[in-house]
Structure 1
Amino acid sequence: MNKEMLAVIEAVSNEKSLPREKIFEAMESALVSATKKKYEQDIEVFVNIDRKSGNFNTFRKWLVVKKVHYPTKEITLDAARIDDHTLNLGDYIYDQIKSINFDRITTQTAKQVIVHKVREAEKAITIAQFKKKEGKILSGIVKKVNRGHLTLDLGHSADAIILRSDMLPRENFRLGDRVRGILFYIKEDIKETQLFISRSKIRMLIELFHIEVPEIGEGLIEIKCAARDPGSRAKIAVKTNDKRIDPVGACVGMRGARVQAISNELNGERIDIVLWDSNPEKFVINAMSPADISSIILDKKKHMIDIAVEENNLAQAIGRNGQNIRLASQLSGWELNVMTKNDLHHKYKKEKDNIINMFVKHLNLNYELSKKIVEKGKISSLKELVSISIDKLHNITNNFHLKINDLILIKKLAQDIYTNLSLTKKDIINNKFKKKLLKLKGINNQLSESLINKGILTIENLAEQSIEDLSDINNLDKVEAGKIIMSARNICWFNKKNNM
């Protein structure tokens, strides 16, 4: 049996490409399981196989505990120390017992355990092997074509799945085709480990640049960010700290060879390579390439940038179906609005006129003084006027010979009006919502006030509530709360009209 065991272990190790030690461990587990089945009692068993001879010894083991709960598996510390005074709690004591003979039942049990343990070992090796490759490009052969996905053979008994949503539009593969994609997810299931590959994720584009442009792999050029419309168009921003290197030119390659190789891999996806800049205005101008930008105005508070272009450049700046402006926005992280120079001029003139007229109307200032505050102080709202210091306001209005007390009064009046307008705006919003609430079945005037006081200010907010969230509202039981929430959900989530 000893030689047979070693032969089986060697054969399984070679067939499954598993280390011999893993097969020995599986065999020991199989012998443990088979041995325990020979006993009527629930015992703990340990089997040790000699790695050279194939001989194995079987031991029954007891856990050393303070108080015995399982007499067939545990022993007290006092009893254990009768034979060995060095033992401590948590140690095991071992008694050698007779090893089992391999009859039909024993062999069947051992076989089942070995198969299970080998699968576990294969799974662990697969996970360890591909964990290192997560986020990297893998190559595989199409071995199965399904309606919603492809199965790729990665070699070494490993398969991967590429879903339809992770392929490029209008991309079709046949059996035997070689496919490259990014390993983006490893699903560790009880039965098997599944590897998921994508060709549509941004990381795929970035990894292709790492492969095609050696300077990126060497750390001379850094990819700062990227945006993709898979299979159609992409933008990627690069930078370098070495002034001798042109990062954009290096990524494009001689006669466009490098970027063309990447484009070909992605079904002709058009790729704009732009220079990254820490200055958001400069970066947005680069990101809008190939469109020529006339001017831009940045609003940090709204995290928004207005872009002005010549009228004959507007279509190119926006791109087909808004593609260029959308990708530039994703790349830069700013909300971008593109318009002609005339439209931008009219927009800001209108906004400036509105704030000047507001100051004239609400602060009782003359037009020239209001204009001075808006233009020289770059004040665009009552809130900004309230926040400005008296010294700065004095410098802005020094030509009008206003006294400090006059400026204090202007700021105080601005504060009062800003507060009143904010409250009025809130009341308007609440009243509009209240009217919507009253249209829902089961909501009366008192209940609508309670919901608003809880900070529920939209039908969407109400739809997201749970029955427990509304439990503190007086005279509203759980049944009625559930009906109200479902009415809101029918409107927001299922586009159903409310049953009045």
Structure 2
Amino acid sequence: MATATKRRYSEPSNIEVNIDKSSGEYETFRFWEVVDEEEFEDPGLHILLEEAKKKDSKFELGSRIEEKVDNVEFGRIAAQAAKQVIVQKVREAERAKIVDQYRSFLGELVNGTVKKVTREFLIVDLGDGAEAILPRTELIPGEVYRIGDRLRAVLQEEERENRGSQLSLSRKCPEMVGELFRLEVPEIAEQVIEIKAIARDAGSRAKIAVKTNDNRIDPVGACVGMRGSRVQAVSAELGNERLDIVIWDDDPAELLINAIGPAEIDSIVLDEENQTMEVAVDKDSLAQAIGRSGQNVRLCSLITGWKLNVVDKDE
């Protein structure tokens, strides 16, 4: 009703419709917000305080000046506009309810079936009437899904301007790697081994830093599994992404030494103030340390949280 009423005016307007639920009678009001000169943007929405005071001295900043207007007569076009708004609001309310139901699962791995495929995204059926959007930008490069395909992805919440929130999915985020290891490695699920950091170039390579407080356990070996069974299972789900599992260290320099392998570091100079490390390596290890298109050093930078400058030790 408010939407249909707004179409009467050429300028923006604030419209409010009060409905008596018992009788079905309704009244329509147009209102202006009382503002100062700095906040004044549109005469269709705002009125200056000094002008409002002329109407009634009781008005203050933030007050509303109301004016009763004729109720809209619902012709075919107005009724259609009202129906569209109602349908949209009902859908938004349904989405909000579903988001609330799934909020406790945000950040976790969920299973779903592809229900619809478009150029920009996939709609995935999560079951029990819940759906989530999987943007193509959140797919692993090269992945192709068709209607009816099953998939696993990390559940997220996407805020959309003026349209509330909705469930979304990602297979590209670092959390996807962590959640898969949680499934494959009981020691992680039981919190005997902790994943401290993940740096990922989805579909190509990822580095996972792990630690344990139990000296009897080799955290890297546990994540790799017998004959590589655990890490291979995770890699297969990610399109055979290369996974480097390294020991976590609270010392960023030690963590870098663990993460940059197989390249060997000759020396590290830390700039604490700028969170930068100057890393010198042997000439034969320089290409390995940097990696193809700088991938290795980029992932090492992400996992340590420091900027890295890798140079030949002889330069």
Q: TM-score, normalised by structure 2?
A: 0.69
Rate the CA distance shift 1:158–1:313 in 2: closer, same or farther, 3 A: same
Q: Aligned partners of 1:195 and 1:177: how far apart in 2?
A: 19
Structure 2 residue aligned with 1:282, among 242, 245, 254?
A: 254
Displacement after TM superposition at 1:190 (Å): 7.7
The answer to whether the aligner puts 1:229 opposite 2:216 as a matched pair is no
The corresponding residue for 2:139 is 167
- Paired residue secondary structure (1:248): helix
Q: Which runs of 5+ in 2 are unaligned?
A: 1-19, 29-86
Question: Would you say 1:36 and 2:23 are equivalent positions?
Answer: yes
Cα distance 1:309–1:192, how it changes in 2: closer, same or farther (>3 A)? closer
| Partner-residue secondary structure (3-state), 2:144 | coil
Separation in 2 of the partners of 1:126 and 1:256?
39
- Counting only pairs closer than 5 Å after superposition, residues 125-274 of structure 1 correspond to structure 2 as 125-187=97-159, 194-274=166-246
**Which position in structure 1 is the counterpart of 2:279?**
307
SS of residue paired to 1:216? helix
Is the alpha carbon distance of 1:293 and 1:116 closer, same or farther for their aligned partners in structure 2, counting shifts above 3 Å? closer
1: CA distance, partners of 2:264 / 2:26: 85
> Which string of whole-angstrom CA distances, capped at 9 and with x for unpartnered residues, describes residues 163-210 of structure 1?
111011111111111111111214478878631101111111111122
Is 1:292–2:268 an aligned residue pair?
A: no
Q: Which amino acid aligns with 1:183?
A: L
Which of these two proteins has the greater Rg computed from alpha carbons?
A: 1
Q: With a CA cutoff of 8 Å and minimum separation of 6, indicate the structure with the bigger relative contact order.
A: 2
Q: Deviation digits for residues 206-233 of structure 1, max 9, x if unmatched? A: 1112221111121111111111111111
What is the match of residue 45 of structure 2?
none
Q: How does 1:450-465 map to 2 (within 5 A)?
A: none
Q: Is the 8 A contact 1:274 1:289 kept in 2?
A: no
The runs of 5 or more residues in structure 1 that have no matched partner are: 1-31, 43-114, 344-500
Task: Specify which structure has the higher proportion of helix.
Answer: 1
Q: 1:39-90 CA distances to partner (integer Å, 9 max, x unpaired)? A: 6999xxxxxxxxxxxxxxxxxxxxxxxxxxxxxxxxxxxxxxxxxxxxxxxx
For the 8 Å contact 1:168–1:266, the answer to whether it is kept is yes
Q: Report the 3-state secondary structure (helix = DSSP H, G, I; strand = E; otherwise coil) of the residue aligned with 2:280.
A: strand
Take 1:183 and 1:290, find their aligned partners in 2: how far apart are those partners?
A: 34
How far did 1:236 drift?
Answer: 1.0
**Cα pair 2:223 2:230 within 8 Å, conserved:** yes
Aligned to 1:321: 293
TM-score by length of 1: 0.44
Asked if structure 2 preserves the Cα contact closer than 8 Å seen for 1:272 and 1:289, the reply is no
Instruction: Give 3-state SS (helix, strand or coil) of 1:342's partner.
Output: coil
1:293 shift after superposition: 1.9
Instruction: Trace 1:290-439 onto structure 2 (pairs within 5 A).
Output: 290-343=262-315
TM superposition shift of 1:335 = 1.4
- Share of identical aligned residues, percent? 52
Question: Which residue identity does 1:141 align to in structure 2?
Answer: T
> Which residue of structure 2 aligns with residue 474 of structure 1?
none
From the two aligned structures, give the one with the greater strand fraction. 2
Cα deviations across residues 95-132 of structure 1 (Å, max 9, x unaligned)?
xxxxxxxxxxxxxxxxxxxx999868744541232111
1:187–1:36 CA distance, 2 compared to 1 (3 A): farther
Q: 8 Å contact 2:96–2:164 — kept in the other structure?
A: no
Classify 1:40/1:229 alpha carbon distance in 2 versus 1 (closer, same or farther; 3 Å).
Answer: closer
CA distance 1:285–1:120, shift in 2 (3 Å):
closer
